[in-house]
Structure 1
Amino acid sequence: MNFSRFQVPFPIDEPYAKKVAYFSMEFAVHQPLKIYSGGLGYLSGSHLRSAYELRQNLIGIGILWKYGYYDQARNPDQTLNVQWNEKIYNFLEDTGIKFQIEIHGHPVWVKALYLNPETFKSAPLFLLSTDLPENDYVSQTITHRLYDANVATKVAQFILLGVGGAKLIDELNFNPDVYHLNEAHGFSAAFYLYRKFGFNKEEVKRRLVFTTHTPEEAGNEKHNLDLCYKMGYFCGLPLEEVRQLTGTTGDQFDHSLSALRFARLANGVSQLHGEVSRKMWNKYEGICEIKAITNAQNWHYWADKQLYNFADTHNEAGFIDRKNYLKKRAFEIVSDQAGKIFDPNVLTIVWARRFAGYKRADLITRDKERFRALMANTKYPVQIIWAGKPYPVDYPAINDFNFLVNLSKEFPNVAVCTGYELGLSKRLKQASDIWLNNPRVPREASGTSGMTAAMNGSVNFSTHDGWICEFINHGNNGFLVPPVDYENMSTPEQDAYDLEKLYDILENQILPLYYENPNVWRQIVINGMRDVRWQFDSNRMAKEYYEIMYK
């Protein structure tokens, strides 16, 4: 492999000839490569798989995290224990490329590793590491932990992804037509390109597109302007010039807002999120147009093909048997972790995704009486599984996780699993009859986990947010908490309304249907599988990026 004149090593399809470099802080390509935390990584991993399937001229630029996000283990009492274990990746190739970038006033060595497209059937992926003997210990730690809690380390990571990524592309002589930032983490690339193209902002703008994933201003990364300057984020540009280029007025540097002012085009990740983003950012001057491309997941990687085959050939017995087998197999993991034997004939609810306050993992448990009655119901029995990783220093989210662990000890039909990564994610989707998704509206930009659940014969039950607004037809392919005027509700009012509706739909629609009308239930499952098949397959999404963002 010649890395000094790099070309995508497979024939390119004509509509996708334009060269694209796709920057992301995390990529969830396959279980053995643990360099992701949640939805952003799942999305970029599916994007790379679809770029490979469609033969697109696209390469991924990311970081090789020595300890990953973290390993989710347990304390002696079963509560969450955060572990940092070194990862070994013999399947990555050393490109032989080494170069220096400046961070905090001194040179840091960077090396590039390569994930061959044929290893996991994805677009070429280059991963940067500073974990080299040539670097001092502090520089080595830049690529130790994804989203390091130390602010200076995090800014250094942003510089590595942006400046280091843009410099790597020059080392490869790849010369992309488009630099695509998946979130603003790699925005420092814009300053490197600004210098490269003769301090001409328009030349950078022509090449830069930006995907935003955060539907509220507070959630977008901001750092002290002086800190960013001292760390070398602006590639040596004087602060006055930085302020002028990005429109920064205060002492906080807003990465997303600056990206919106530097990019030719930006996009939200669902139609609703596009609207929310335009409303949120349009009060600022000088931002680019914000379009919407709804996130999607890679069908070939995620879907259970046998379930689809039985559905397509109207083989009812085969379909029932296959779903039963998938549940049984997943329940082996539950019994191994929780010591509980779950029944494949019982309606199984799964809530599994990244733990964050607005996602309300514990919502269904907040009405204690109703929850106890639900778990004790012998006419319509229910099993519930929770799983997901909180950010390792998000103590309220860890508290929620531990609350559910302790609650599960009281019930034989409740389990909390650890190690929620790609492998467990797929198994739990296959285990579930109901994929429960109850974020506070409109705080979920897209929330793609329900797509892959539907691809494995699970029915989405959700609040009206993110991609769900484009998918659910209540009672036909899923179930929806009916939206109300949330904007004029307080947070406790919103939570109370959603909780009441959730129980109402579960007790009066879902449970009777599952147990008393299995044929109609199965039709809802199959409708969901069919409706998600094309519209929410990442091949559609990867195609739209070329048609809308890169053209």
Structure 2
Amino acid sequence: MTDTTNWPLPYRVNPAYARKVAYFSMEFAIDQALKIYSGGLGFLAGSHMRSAYQLRQNVIGVGILWKYGYYDQARNADQTLRVDFTKKYYPFLTDPGITVTVQVNGHDVKVKALCLPAQTFGSAPLYLLTTDIPENDHLARTITHCLYDVEPSARIAQSIVLGLGGAKVVEAMGGAELYHMNEAHALPLAFHLMDRLGEASEVRKRIVFTTHTPEKAGNEEHETSFLKRMGFFGALNHEQEVNLTGIHEHLFSHTLAALRVSHACNGVSRLHGAVANQMWEGNDGICSIEAITNSQNALFWQDKKLRQALDRNDPKRLITRKKEMKDDLFRIVADQTGKLFNRDVLTIVWARRFAHYKRATLLLHDFHRFLNLIERTDRPVQIIWAGKPFPFDHDAISVFNGLVRLSRKKRNIAVLTGYEIELSRQLKQGADVWLNTPVRPREASGTSGMTAAMNGAVNFSINDGWIPEFAKDGENSFIIPVTEPKLSEHEQNEADYQNLMSIFEDRIIPLYYDEPQRWNEIAMASMRDVTPAFDSDRMAREYYEKLYSAKLG
């Protein structure tokens, strides 16, 4: 079933990367024009596909063509968040003529593949699956409408389309030597391989897995009986399913199953690798979990003029270019909010998903002290928040809207909507300080800080995710000290807040205004240190060297 020839690629494959790999991900952030992603998982997958193209690797991506994307972030009349679902059209996709059939809840569903050619955006080819075709009934057509649909049966149907449908599409193109699951969403591909190969050991030889999060929401569990009814296990009987996954219980853990159907797995930072091993230790039959730290594609994300100034060791040009990029960002601020920010004022940006553990409002923990920070006139600050709450997480939306209401009262606070690739890029290019405040150790990687550093923003962060591998406090970043992990949530928030504000008041703000040359040296050190170690070319190479060459055992 496996053809060892290359995929239909527009380049001669580098012999160092000859193994034929199909990379499955629920989301890919490749370009602003292709809205099939929600956040960090997609940004990681997009950078991987760009580096696979640049390194001439024998890789294709397999994903889903989301008709409505994640959602469009708009505003109500009072500036609060409005969730819009708008149909998307992508005439730049091509039709390779591949349609396969899967079974969902006892019904045949046709799955059509469309291709994003490698040359369109400079990525490995993507094969994007859709059920929104005339051959299907209305319900089947909606399966690929919304990324991370809130309805459990729709979410499982999406996994069936990605995993089982994607595996059949790959077979229609000659098959793969290796299947890489980016999170456990594509797990049904393992059941399809078991049906074809008949031996669990043969399945494991062909699958590797990347686990991304210690968060419960990222490690799904469902009733096994519900999954059976939906067709999640494909053509397998109960004995075959248990033989492959080792799960006898009524509650089925997708991540645990993925660790058992794979012969190798990676966490997405050294710290996350250790956390993931602790999470899953004691479970029989799981594969080893190594650490391959997530990275981002510098060629795509880094401002070229800023990089040229760094390479020429020209701090004056770098300072000038940074202010030009701040002006670009501030035009967006003015357009969305009517506020005129100043290029000479210290600009702090917090921008990412509005997940609870990321603590978007940690800065407001002591509101009186926060007001003292933003109302100072001698050394002023400007603060920008941006990010997409999950569209059905009303608590997260409430946090976002609370910040919007606060921003109406303060001329130096802005909350931006439309947090997608282009706004993300401009926030990183325009930020002086990139603020990251997760509860440690719940941030598995946190790659936004990498692309911020590439663009001359100084990371100010909890020492979590990738940061321990990069940060030199006071030299290329500023680090909030690690607090006692056994503290209650309130106590940890209090301790982290006190440290955060002390560093802002005593170190960051005085340094920015009183020692601008030293500040620029830190920004330049950050730019030098973030590449090549956190460029996705390194990560894509490590996938081949460590994950794709790992032995079954």
**TM-score (ref. length: structure 1):** 0.98
Aligned equivalent of 2:543, options 538, 542, 545 = 545
Instruction: Tell me the equivalent position of 1:284.
Output: 283
Q: CA separation of 1:50/1:81 partners in 2, compared to 1, >3 Å: closer, same or farther?
A: same
2:282 and 2:77 map into 1 onto residues whose CA distance is 51
Distance 2:511 2:68 in 1: 46
Matched, 1:61 2:62: yes
Q: Which moved more, 1:311-320 or 1:352-361?
A: 311-320
Matched residue SS, 2:466 = helix
8 Å CA contact 2:483, 2:492 repeated in 1: no
Distance across 1 between alignment mates of 2:389 and 2:489: 21
Please tell me whether the aligned partners of residues 181 and 209 of structure 1 are also in contact (alpha carbons under 8 angstroms): yes
Whether the 8 Å contact between 1:217 and 1:280 is mirrored in structure 2 is: no
**Contact 1:297/1:451 (8 A) holds in 2:** yes
Name 2:498's counterpart in structure 1: 500
Classify the secondary structure of the residue corresponding to 2:275: helix
> What do residues 402-435 of structure 1 show as CA deviations (whole Å, max 9, x unaligned)?
1100110110000000000000000011110000
Deviation at 1:546, TM superposition (A): 0.1
Q: CA deviation at 1:99?
A: 1.9
Alignment-mate amino acid for residue 414 of structure 2:
A
Contact 1:23 1:61 in 2 (8 A): yes
- Letter in structure 1 aligned against 2:269: S
Is 2:200–2:243's contact at 8 Å kept on the other side of the alignment? no
Distance 1:5 1:378 in 2: 62
Secondary structure of 2:133 counterpart: coil
SS of residue in 1 equivalent to 2:418? coil
CA contact (8 A) 2:365 2:494 kept: no
1:84-95 equivalences under 5 Å are: 84-95=85-96
Residue pairs, 1:339-488, within 5 angstroms: 339-486=338-485, 488=486
Query: What residue in structure 1 maps to residue 236 of structure 2?
Result: 237
- Aligned partners of 1:282, 1:350: CA distance in 2, in Å? 37
The equivalent residue for 1:166 is: 167
Please give the alpha-carbon distance, in whole angstroms, between the structure 1 residues aligned to 2:313 and 2:292: 33
Deviation at 1:177, TM superposition (A): 1.3
Distance 2:338 2:215 in 1: 40
Superposed CA deviations along residues 133-191 of structure 1, whole A, max 9, x for unmatched, are: 11111100000000000000000000000000000011111x21110000000011000
Q: Is the 8 A contact 2:48 2:540 kept in 1?
A: yes
The answer to whether the aligner puts 1:193 opposite 2:188 as a matched pair is no
Q: Which amino acid aligns with 1:518?
A: P
Range moving further from structure 2, 241-250 or 69-78 = 241-250
The alpha carbon displacement at 1:216 in A equals 4.0
What is the alpha-carbon distance in structure 1 between the residues aligned to residue 234 and residue 265 of structure 2?
23
Distance change (3 Å), C-alpha of 1:218 and 1:44? closer
Amino acid in the other structure paired with 2:176: P
1:316 and 1:299 mapped to 2: Cα distance?
20
Measure the CA separation in 2 of the matches of 1:245 and 1:21.
21
Residue 253 of structure 2 corresponds to 254
In structure 2, what is the Cα distance between the partners aligned to 1:201 and 1:296?
32
Compared CA separation, residues 417 and 217, structure 1 to 2 (3 A) = closer
Q: Which amino acid aligns with 1:324?
A: K
Mean CA deviation greater in 93-102 or 134-143: 93-102
CA deviation digits over 1:176-222, x for unaligned, max 9?
A: 1110000000011000001111x111111011000000124564011
Amino acid across the alignment from 2:489: T
Shift >3 Å, 4+ stretches: 216-219
Q: Is the 8 A contact 2:476 2:522 kept in 1?
A: yes
Contact conserved, 2:269 with 2:444, CA < 8 A, in 1?
yes
CA displacement 1:337-381 (0-9 Å, x = unmatched): 011000000000000011100000011012111111111111110
Report the Cα offset of residue 285 of structure 1: 1.0
Q: Give 1:250 shift.
A: 2.3
How far the C-alpha of 1:239 sits from its partner, in A, is 2.5
Amino acid at match of 1:57: N
State the AA in 2 paired with 1:504: S
User: d(CA) in 2 for partners of 1:251 and 1:77?
Assistant: 47
Distance 2:153 2:501 in 1: 45
**Range 242-251 or range 61-70, more displaced:** 242-251
Q: Alignment partner of 2:134: what SS? A: coil
- Which runs of no fewer than 5 residues in structure 2 stay unpaired? none
* Counterpart-to-counterpart distance in 1, 2:98 and 2:178: 22
User: 86-95 vs 19-28, which deviates more?
Assistant: 86-95
Q: Secondary structure of the equivalent of 1:466?
A: coil
Aligned partner of 1:31: which letter?
A: Q
Distance change in 2, residues 1:295/1:372 (3 Å): same
Aligned-partner SS, 1:28: coil
- Distance in 2, matches of 1:243 and 1:204, equals 14
Contact 2:6/2:20 (<8 A) preserved: no
CA offset digits 1:222-256 (Å, max 9, x no partner): 11211110111101222343233212232211111
Greater Cα shift, 246-255 or 440-449: 246-255
Contact 2:7 / 2:59 at 8 angstroms: preserved in 1? no
Q: Which residue of the partner structure matches residue 116 of structure 1? A: 117
- 1:331 maps to which residue? 330
User: Contact 1:5–1:172 at 8 Å: present in 2 too?
Assistant: no
How far did 1:5 drift? 9.1
Aligned pairs for 1:287-302 (under 5 A) are: 287-302=286-301
The answer (yes or no) to whether the contact 2:184–2:255 under 8 Å persists in 1 is yes
